[in-house]
Amino acid sequence: MKNSFAAKLMRDNRSLDIVLVLLGTIALWEVGVRIFNPPAIILPAPSAIWAAFMQSPWVFIRNMLYTLSTTGIAFAISVALGVIMAVGIVQSKFLERTVYTLLIAVNSVPKVALAPLFVIWLGTGMASQLAVAVMLAIFPIVINTVLGLRSVDPDMLNLAKATRASKFDIIYKIRVPNALPSLFSGMKVGISFALVGAIVGEFVAGGRGLGFLVLTAQGQFDTTRVFVSLVLLGVMGTILFYAVDVMERVALPWHSSQRQPNA
Amino acid sequence: MNMTVTPPAEPYLRVSATDKIYPSPHGEIVALSDINLDVQPGEFISIVGPSGCGKSTLMKCIAGLEDITSGSISVSGRPLAGPPDRMGVVFQRDVLLDWRTILDNVLLQAEFLGHSRAKYRDRAMQLLERFGLKGFENRHPWELSGGMRQRASICRALLCDPDLLLMDEPFGALDAMTRDDLNVELSRIWQGSNKTVIFITHSISEAVFLADRVVMMSRGPGRIVDVFDVDLPRPRPLSIRETEAFGVYAQRIRHHFAELGVIQE
């Protein structure tokens, strides 16, 4: 491990690409709005969006932190619950045939459509928002973790059996570490879904949060403030995704996706 | 053709009248049919045969990983009930755990068997040194070449000093030179170790080079068609493969392969 983390990030200049593409898009957008001059209610200029943010930054930041905390809590619940469920499903034929079958069946329902149901059950407020977010985020985590726990080389299991490894050893020394890369890819999808769930939760059960801000700004036809919220959501989503990515790199230095090409 | 070897009083491993039949939607598949084999303690047996001849199935049965349909397998006079004591296994794939260092991978054997790691640490280091892996103990498997990885997996199998070593095409995935290298190394380590080795391969020269006795298997159903002693002096240098005596043994196996239509003579 000769190079540090930052150096590794810089090595693939993907981060540089992202910054350049974003700056280019913003510049084109600004120039386009100035030339064609569309009504602000259709498309505000980036400079106007920035000005709207600076007018009341704390309102936006407060609501952003609220959405962030909903997303974070929902994500943590999804990971904890998802891993427990996955281990149970892999360990027990009964749970596989009941819980897993149910999960797969429910997964094909457009879960966002269930959000209003949670408002009836749990009322408006954070509980409903959390429920919607967990419902969305937990599926990719459970399904990926189950696949990871199962995808052990059969010869590794033969070796373990021939060496009389205990069931505990097979789970904690082989299956669980083997499933970590899958768990992390489930978590990467899950974190984005948790954010989507939090926003949808705010749409239907809101009162606070960036989703709620989008809804109220839309009610006032204040397109500029809608865009401020959307930009903040984009920034948040990106940061959350990369946070999980960094966690993965720290936790799984041995995994093939982390290796240098010539290692 | 001499197919019967004088039955000795107390074989280390005895496989007698063993069948292994798998049910399948298209009727039964006879993987092993009437297998009879006695192995003396400290003997090096090569089992050679074309793919589908049941040689890997036979190994899994001896390892206690598969139940047999009929017949019996006994080790040290006791009928097999699960994996035998003091056994090490090596597969074609090294199945090292990516998240463990080489040393920790070797020590896995002790952990699985319920022994303390500390007790086996020195032995693990000695084994790694003997297999030319000194200095790599703290590396991860993906930092090593295929040959080095397979060496590490042999160290893992040898860690708890097994009496029986089962090897299922361990060098099948390696390039020819690494394979030669490991053949010599395995031969050297085995000699004087008093370990019984069952070595499965489909390489004719590898089978002859390593073995005290070659067991030739055929398919449809999987059965033993020939057993013969390899009476070549040890230690055997690689150049022994160019001798006439070696050629006679290799020819004997090649003849069987040709009869099966696997190769043309």
Looking at the complex, does the CB of residue A159 fall below 8 Å from at least one CB of chain B?
yes
- For the segment B101-144, what is each residue's pLDDT rounded down to a tens digit? 999 999 999 999 999 999 999 999 999 998 999 999 999 999 99
Looking at the complex, does the CB of residue A164 fall below 8 Å from at least one CB of chain B?
yes
Q: Do B140 and A177 touch (CB under 8 A)?
A: no
Which strands, in side-by-side order, build the sheet including B223-229?
Answer: B87-90, B164-168, B196-201, B44-48, B213-218, B223-229
Looking at the complex, does the CB of residue A165 fall below 8 Å from at least one CB of chain B?
yes
Residue A238 has pLDDT above 80, yes or no: yes
Please give the share of chain B, as a percent, with pLDDT higher than 90: 74
Residue A3 has pLDDT above 80, yes or no: no
Residue type, B203: S
Mean pLDDT, chain B, as a whole number?
91
pLDDT range class, residue B263, cuts 50, 70, 90: confident
In chain A, what residues touch B154 (CB-CB under 8 Å)? none
Average pLDDT over residues A3-21: 69
Q: Do B91 and A165 touch (CB under 8 A)?
A: no
Q: B176-190 burial, b for 16+ CB within 10 Å, e for fewer?
A: eebbbbbbbbbbebb
- pLDDT for A259 equals 60
Looking at the complex, does the CB of residue B129 fall below 8 Å from at least one CB of chain A?
no
pLDDT range class, residue A4, cuts 50, 70, 90: low
Residue A1 has pLDDT above 50, yes or no: no
pLDDT range class, residue B173, cuts 50, 70, 90: confident
Query: Which is more confidently placed, A262 or A26?
Result: A26
What residues are paired with B18 via a beta bridge? Answer: B35
In chain B, what residues touch A254 (CB-CB under 8 Å)? 98-99, 140, 142
Q: Which of residues 16-75 of B touch A (CB under 8 A)?
A: 60, 63-65
- pLDDT for A8 equals 57
Nearest Cβ partner of B89 from A159, A166, A256? A159
Q: Which of B110-119, B166-175, B256-265 has the lowest mean pLDDT?
A: B256-265
For A162, name the nearest residue in chain B, comparing CA atoms only.
B83
Q: Which of residues 134-153 of B touch A (CB under 8 A)?
A: 140, 142-143
Of the candidates A13, A1, A153, the one whose C-alpha atom is nearest the C-alpha of residue B153 is A153
- For the segment A22-65, what is each residue's pLDDT rounded down to a tens digit? 999 999 999 999 999 999 889 999 999 999 999 999 999 999 99
CA distance A11 to chain B (A): 20
Domain B24-86+163-260 = CATH 3.90.550.10 = no
pLDDT range class, residue A5, cuts 50, 70, 90: low
Looking at the complex, does the CB of residue A259 fall below 8 Å from at least one CB of chain B?
yes
In chain B, what residues touch A163 (CB-CB under 8 Å)? 83, 89, 109, 112-113
pLDDT range class, residue A14, cuts 50, 70, 90: confident
Residue A118 has pLDDT above 50, yes or no: yes
- pLDDT for A262 equals 44
User: Per the structure block, which two tokens stand in for B10?
Assistant: 């107390």
Query: Which is more confidently placed, B10 or B140?
Result: B140
- pLDDT for B265 equals 66
Average pLDDT over residues A162-168: 91
Average pLDDT over residues A117-129: 91
- pLDDT for B259 equals 85
Mean pLDDT, chain A, as a whole number?
89
Residues in CB range of B216: below 8 A, 6 or more apart: B48, B49, B224, B225, B226, B227, B228, B253, B256
Q: What is the DSSP string of chain B?
A: ----PPPPSS-SEEEEEEEEEE--TTS-EEEEEEEEEEE-TT-EEEEE--TTSSHHHHHHHHTTSS--SEEEEEETTEE--SSPSSEEEE-SS----TTS-HHHHHHHHHHHTT--HHHHHHHHHHHHHHTT-TT-TTS-GGGS-HHHHHHHHHHHHHTT--SEEEEESTTTTS-HHHHHHHHHHHHHHHTTT--EEEEEES-HHHHHHH-SEEEEEETTTTEEEEEEE----SSPPGGGGGSHHHHHHHHHHHHHHHHHTSS--
Domain ranges across chain B: 24-86+163-260, 96-162
Of the candidates A202, A179, A199, A205, the one whose C-alpha atom is nearest the C-alpha of residue A240 is A199
- pLDDT for A257 equals 64
Looking at the complex, does the CB of residue B99 fall below 8 Å from at least one CB of chain A?
yes
